[in-house]
Structure 1
Amino acid sequence: MPSSLTLSLGQHSERGRKETNQDFHGALVPGRAALALRGGAIAIADGIGSSPVSHVASETAVRSFLSDYYDTPDTWSVKTAASRVIAATNSWLHAETRRNRHLHDPEGARDRGYVTTFSALILRSRTAHIFHVGDARISRVVRRSLEALTEDHRVVLSAEESYLGRALGAAAHVEIDHHTVVIEGGDVFVLTTDGVHEHVRPEAIVAEIAQHGDDLDRAAREIVRRAYENGSGDNLTVQIVRVDAVPDGELDEMSGRADDLPPGPLLDPPTTFDGYRVLRTLHASHRSHVYLAVDGETGLTVALKVPSTDLHADPAGLQRLMMEEWVARRIGSPHVLSAPPRTRRRSHLYTVMDYVEGRTLAQWMRDNPKPELEEVRRLVEQVAVGLRAFHRREMVHRDLRPHNVLVDAAGTVRIIDFGSTRIAGLAEDDPTVDETVQGTVQYTAPECLAGRPATPQSDIFSLGVIAYQMLTGRLPYGAEATRAFSAARAQRLHYVSLAAARTGLPAYVDAALRKAVHPNPAQRYEVLSAFVHDLRHPNPSLPGLRRTALLERDPVLFWKLVSLTLAAAVVYLLARSAL
């Protein structure tokens, strides 16, 4: 019997009688090591017909799932990994609908946004995992018919009227159906959108698969053709996957499991570990130890992070550590540290990130105690670009501080350390997600100190504090901010003006920083781009700028007017004294 899972695939999709194809589908069968660990994944999505952007939603759902699922930590089970990826995608789609409601959905109807059905089949070892939201279907061939493995999430009002009861992007949270079935060699699974299964009988689908078993792509095309000829007016998508061989049961299950991997040991460089040549220690703390290493297989220089011994008895801490690689691969920004592709199975829990030669922003500030304003602007703008990449993915870094920003020799900035990152969809649905303060309190927004969930405005607060500190060497609230563990205490915080810490800086820069670090998140900037813009351009709408706006815009004219006013006063007084 073959020692690995072997699959055959066939797929086909057409727009049918519609002007555009709002369906999207995809499949990924990785190499042997990843196949044993994560399995092969097949996904299908059907964007709702009433939305002009649902094709974007269906494509995003499938592409995100097939890429992000394989980047999840090895410690996660198939159910945990797939469910969290789907939940994160749902949050992103729902957020896009909210952000673009004025463009696509002027009346606020939820059937006009980024909404799609989604179904995925993951075949790993001898088990099929089914994940399902909506009314696409996953079925298995049983003799001459199909056994439905999913239930349509459709609410029927009458013979002519029905609507989706569940879909990705329709709400902030999504309920995902999940169950498993045992698979055997020869099993055939079929994924279809409603444009197909509502117009082709199960027996006809099975007959096409039997007739074209040596060419599953052709079988999928023939099933689509039948649906079209039978009058389907919808998009038409079919996926067929056949299990040609299953692995040697228990042996593969044990070698493929990562749930029970022990935490990576502390290393004593120079040494070798899991195929890496460990050269030296880069950093050590109570949370982790980071080593400079070279991948013996690829030759890449990497940063290898293992949990500290204090973290071994902290499951939540280990989970946060293992999340870092997944976050790094999802972001894809030149100003956020990335992670190299995973090429082999690991024997322990640890993370591998790209290595960047540079110094932390904390060290940069020690080396530059009184930097030029333009230099600070340039660094802050790069950090803002990196943070925007987080926020567009519905993530909040939560631990932005000078020690978590790297500056390389060319002056390029990269955000690092993602162990505290809050991911929408995961945080709300996972009770183990820790909302307590993860970072240094001096840079943490008051609402987070008070125990409320972090938002993008929380990251803006942290960036504002860093920018203030870069310019002055001080913190905008001194030591007071570390004690703002309630809304009442936050309201009593007293902002120290830039002028009191360093002379010669424009008043409009002070006004921008004051707004960025406001204790009330509702009073801060809504987006990072507005903050970095106001650091360069006077914004008369900011408090405290109206009196000095002319001085900032045209100091020569300002002093001319002052001189003219004084001259007029002198003439007036002389005239009075002559009377």
Structure 2
Amino acid sequence: MVARLKVTVGQYSDKGIKAENQDSIGFSVPGNLALLETKGIACALADGISSSAEGKQASQACVTGFIADYFSTPDTWSVKQSGGKVLTAINTWLHGQSSQYKDASRGLASTFSAIVIKSTTAHLFHVGDSRIYLFRDGELEQLTTDHRIRIDAEQEYLGRAFGVDYCLDIDYKSLTVEEGDRFLLTTDGIHDVISDKRLKLLFKEHDADLDAFSQKMCDLAIAEGSKDNVSCQILLVEQLPSQDANEVFAQLTALPFPPELYEGVILDGYRVTREIHASSTSQLYLAVDTDTGEKVVLKTPSVNFEDDPAYLERFQLEEWIGRRIVSPHVIRTVEQKRPRRFLYYVLEYVDGKTLEQWLDDVGTLDLKTVRELVPQIVSGLRAFHRLDMLHQDLKPGNIMISHDGVLKIIDFGSTKIAGIADISTPVERRELLGTKHYTAPEYLLGRPGMTQSDQFALGCIVYQMLTGKLPYGEKLAKAREQRGINRLNYRPISEYISDIPHWVDKAVRKSVQVSPESRYEALSEFESDLVKPNPDFLREDQLPLLQRNPVGFWRSLSLLLLITNLVLAYLLMQ
């Protein structure tokens, strides 16, 4: 039996002694099971800044905007990415609205705290002096930090809030959830007058009715002399999602593997024409849709892995990925109109060859051709990155070129999906390192990938297209620890091509730096630097050798001094 995430929420808000309640609260527990799995539940609380006349509007915008927009983000995005993007947009809107008022007191400003529980993890977003607590095993822990700046014993002010500045630093943290955990969200109208010790005692004697408990806490704060609006929310984690490994395997094997395919066989309305490619992990067949006459490609799983749940999940995710990426430079997954009786999926047919095959035929490409190809690869990669995905196996063999010159990235077998990685599963998901020679060093060291990891692979491909070689030769493929990585030396393109612009060489070198932090921040920067000189690269050439390459300078100087000493010693001995 599959267990679903079950969270009960109680909440209450009161204006207290003030004329208006500028607090806002809200939550959403999706009834749609698919949405509950991919997005989880969300709960948010905001406190409009009392010095702002539009505080109520600000807090409402934060809560309602977050609850509505978070669930509208792509299911490929991680919770961190989804929440961060939504909150950044809300802050930008609030700041823009505030800028319309000449009177600073009319600005839209608010604190904000939210918790998203997805799968078995709680994700916290926080700005200001509202709080999120966790009550577990009889202990109460404050999970957020108050963004207050104390001037002296009597004075302090809010150091961070929504709508105050165009740029906003949003605190984020995640933690593993346990059944029975209770989370408490409060505005300062409560925790400024009720101590943590008192809150802990209240939790130990609380009623099962969370709404009534929330009201009780607000009423107590008012009775204790709170001079502000009072709001609180309580989340009780009653059940965490779990799946039995056997049940998961049964789902993954619901469709049987296809029979042997050869010319003339019809599979669910697709007539097989020929085998295109076969490997130890899958087979590709050219086929024709008998209804439309359209040429397509059938991808089938290898029988070598029919009892491997990790492989089966990954194979089925390939189609899931293909349905979500829409780009002229990424291979398209074809939607099937007829019932499917076997495990396979359908891809568009690209009449052409792989970049690997093309390079085998011609050897190297001139700079003009490379500059025409790179923007297409960048466009395809950005389609992955926009959806919080990493391809992780970019290489010439995974880039198709049609006869009319259109490039398409293929093969999603190693693609990492942040939104799926957030979901716990009994299936052991193994990180695939891609292909040697193109694999970023951080993968070889067991570190997580990032967009710069795909950039590294692209840089290697650009280098190979120009020179027929690889920037680190065979050494990268053999490196498996930090010491080996540190010994990697980039070989300038100028060693193979004498007329290559030095600034192009520097652009490629930057894209394949060993440290991902030293690579380009965005693929578009790399693309641009291949076409026009980066001023920084030009300035570097004007600097003295000591500043450009201090190690090289001192090595050269030491060598010169050694030679000089040897010559002097020889002359003295004569």
> Normalising by structure 1, what TM-score?
0.57
**Using the alignment, how far apart are the partners of 1:53 and 1:377 within structure 2?**
44
Candidates 312, 317, 327, aligned match of 1:318: 312
Q: 1:409 and 2:403 equivalent?
A: yes
Rounded to whole Å, the distance in 1 between the matches of 2:68 and 2:45 is 12
Contact (CA 8 Å) 1:90, 1:172: kept in 2 or not?
no
What amino acid does structure 1 have at the position aligned with 2:448?
A: P
In the TM superposition, residue 453 of structure 1 has moved relative to its aligned partner by 1.9
- Residue number among 76, 79, 96 corresponding to 1:90 in the alignment: 79
Look up the equivalent residue of 2:521 and give its one-letter code.
E
Deviation, structure 1 residue 43: 10
1:435 aligns with 2:431: yes
> Contact between 1:111 and 1:170, CA under 8 Å: does it hold in 2?
no
The one-letter code sitting in structure 1 at the alignment partner of 2:447 is R
Q: Displacement, 1:405?
A: 0.7
Give 1:214-233 correspondences, 5 Å limit. none
Aligned-residue offset at 1:524: 1.1
CA deviation string 1:249-270 (max 9, x = no partner):
xxxx9xx966432233341122
Q: Give the equivalent residue in structure 1 for 2:449.
A: 454
Deviation at 1:448, TM superposition (A): 0.8
Which stretch shifts more, 415-424 or 291-300?
291-300
Offset at residue 340 of structure 1 (A) = 2.1
State how far apart, in whole Å, the 2-side matches of 1:408 and 1:303 are.
Answer: 15
Matches within 5 A, 1:243-392: 259-297=253-291, 299-392=293-386
Q: Once the two structures are superposed, what CA deviation does each residue of 1:441-500 show, in whole Å capped at 9, x if it has no partner? A: 111011112222221111010000000000111101111111121122111101110100
Is 1:419 matched with 2:377? no
User: What CA distance in whole angstroms lies between the structure 2 residues aligned with 1:498 and 1:365?
Assistant: 17
Letter in 2 for 1:451: G
Distance 1:131 1:296, change over 3 A: farther
Match of 2:503 in 1: 508
What does the per-residue CA deviation read over 1:366-425, in whole Å, with 9 as the maximum and x for residues that have no partner? 344332212201211111111112112111111000011111122121111001001124
Indicate yes or no: 2:522 matched with 1:533: no
Q: Deviations over 1:507-537 (max 9, x none)?
A: 0011011111011112111211111111122
Work out the CA distance in 1 between the residues paired with 2:371 and 2:408.
Answer: 15
**Take 1:543 and 1:489, find their aligned partners in 2: how far apart are those partners?**
31
Q: Which moved more, 1:50-59 or 1:381-390?
A: 50-59
- 2:446 pairs with 1:474: no
Between the aligned partners of 1:452 and 1:164, the Cα distance in structure 2 is: 27
SS in 2 for 1:279: strand
Structure 2 residues without counterparts, runs of 5 or longer: 1-20, 47-58, 96-108, 124-130, 136-141, 145-169, 180-209, 213-230, 232-246, 545-574
| Deviation of 1:427 (Å) | 3.0
- Alpha-carbon distance change, 176 to 259 in structure 1, aligned in 2, over 3 angstroms: farther
Change in 2 beyond 3 A, CA 1:480/1:89: closer
CA distance in 2, matches of 1:387, 1:61: 24
Give 1:48 shift.
Answer: 6.1
* Aligned AA (1:456): T
- Per the alignment, residue 395 of structure 1 pairs with 389
The residue identity in structure 2 corresponding to 1:433 is: R
- On the 8 A contact 1:465/1:476 being kept in 2, the answer is yes
Q: Which stretch of the first structure deviates more once superposed, 351-360 or 504-513?
A: 351-360
Q: Find the aligned partners of 2:503 and 2:121 in 1 and give their Cα distance.
A: 52
Q: Are residues 52 and 357 of structure 1, via their aligned partners in 2, closer, same or farther at CA, if it must alter by over 3 Å?
A: farther
Matches of 2:370 and 2:45 in 1, distance apart?
Answer: 47
Q: Which runs of 5+ in 1 are unaligned?
A: 1-16, 30-34, 69-84, 120-129, 135-152, 158-162, 179-196, 200-233, 235-252, 550-579
In the alignment, residue 450 of structure 1 is paired with which amino acid?
L
Partner of 2:206: none
The residue number in structure 1 matching 2:155 is none
User: CA offset at residue 364 of structure 1?
Assistant: 2.3
**Cα pair 1:441 1:449 within 8 Å, conserved:** no
One-letter amino acid of the structure 2 residue matched with residue 519 of structure 1 = V
User: Residues 55 and 500 (structure 1 numbering): CA distance in 2 closer, same or farther, change over 3 Å?
Assistant: farther
CA offsets, 1:179-237, max 9 Å, x none?
Answer: xxxxxxxxxxxxxxxxxx989xxxxxxxxxxxxxxxxxxxxxxxxxxxxxxxxxx9xxx
Give the CA RMSD over aligned residues. 4.8
C-alpha contact 2:377 2:409 (8 A) present in aligned 1: yes
| Equivalent-residue separation in structure 2 for 1:53 and 1:302 (angstroms) | 47
The one-letter amino acid paired with 1:309 is: V
- Partners of 1:132 and 1:369 in 2: CA distance: 50
SS of 1:441's equivalent in the other structure is coil
Taking the TM superposition and a 5 Å limit, the aligned residue runs for 1:56-135 are: 57-63=66-72, 88-94=77-83, 96=85
Letter in 2 for 1:453: P
Aligned to 1:483: 478
Conserved 8 A contact 2:354-2:398: yes
Query: What is the alpha-carbon distance in structure 2 between the residues aligned to residue 411 and residue 110 of structure 1?
Result: 52
The 3-state SS of whatever aligns with 1:286 is coil
Q: Please give the alpha-carbon distance, in whole angstroms, between the structure 2 residues aligned to 1:412 and 1:515.
A: 27
Q: Number of residue pairs matched?
A: 398
1:449–1:485 Cα contact (<8 Å) kept: yes
| 2:121/2:176 contact within 8 Å kept | no
Aligned residues: percent identity? Answer: 37
C-alpha separation between the residues in 1 aligned to 2:73 and 2:91?
25
Partner of 1:433: helix, strand, or coil? coil
Q: What is the match of residue 15 of structure 2?
A: none
Contact kept? 2:456, 2:512, Cα under 8 Å: yes
In the alignment, is the contact (CA less than 8 A) between 1:25 and 1:59 conserved in 2? Answer: no
In 1, are the aligned partners of 2:66 and 2:86 still within 8 Å (CA)?
Answer: no
Give the 5 Å matches for 1:200-239: none
User: Which residue type is aligned with residue 435 of structure 1?
Assistant: E
Q: Which residue of 2 aligns with 1:522?
A: 517
SS at match of 1:442: coil
Q: What is the TM-score when the length of structure 2 is the normalising length?
A: 0.58
Contact in 2 for aligned 1:540/1:546 (Cα 8 Å) = no
Over 3 Å counting, the alpha-carbon distance change for 1:284 and 1:91 in structure 2 is farther
- Relative to structure 1, is the Cα distance of residues 525 and 519 closer, same or farther in structure 2, using a 3 angstrom cutoff? same
Aligned AA (2:81):
W
